[in-house]
């Protein structure tokens, strides 16, 4: 596993931490609950991380300075049919 995207993590807040040989970047609601996204990077790719942007509890971007080209990774968790119209519109506006 080099780079993995996760959805519906249900983790609260935003940030990053290390766990063994992996770095986890996450974005979720302040009080946790539903939604939440994360990107897991192996040691090699974590060392290439230029920046990350927790756009919302459903959208997270990570920029990597890799060769031969830089990578922009976007992890999303789209609203389900149970979501309100307002939630769906906000998601697509943020995206």
pLDDT in tens, 39-89: 999 999 999 999 999 999 999 999 999 999 999 999 999 998 888 999 999
**Statement: residue 14 has pLDDT above 90:** yes
Please report, for the domain that includes residue 64, its CATH number: 3.60.10.10
Range of the domain at 83: 3-94
* pLDDT score, position 50: 96
Beta strands across the sheet bearing 22-27: 3-7, 37-42, 22-27, 14-19
CB 39 within 8 A of CB 62: yes
pLDDT band (50, 70, 90) for residue 17: very high
Question: What is the value of pTM for the model shown?
Answer: 0.90
Number of structural domains found in the chain: 1
pLDDT band (50, 70, 90) for residue 13: very high
3-class state of residue 45 by DSSP: helix
Residues 8-20: b if buried by 16+ CB within 10 A, e if exposed:
ebebeebebeeee
């Amino acid at each position: 596993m080099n780079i993995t995207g996760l959805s519906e993590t249900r983790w609260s807040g935003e940030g990053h931490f290390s766990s063994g040989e992996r770095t986890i970047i996450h974005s979720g609601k302040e009080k946790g609950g539903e939604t939440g996204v994360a990107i897991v990077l192996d040691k090699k790719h974590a060392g290439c991380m230029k920046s990350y942007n927790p756009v919302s509890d459903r959208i997270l971007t990570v920029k990597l300075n890799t060769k031969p080209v830089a990578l922009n990774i976007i992890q999303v968790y789209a609203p389900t049919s149970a979501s309100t119209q307002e939630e769906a519109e906000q998601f697509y506006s943020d995206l």
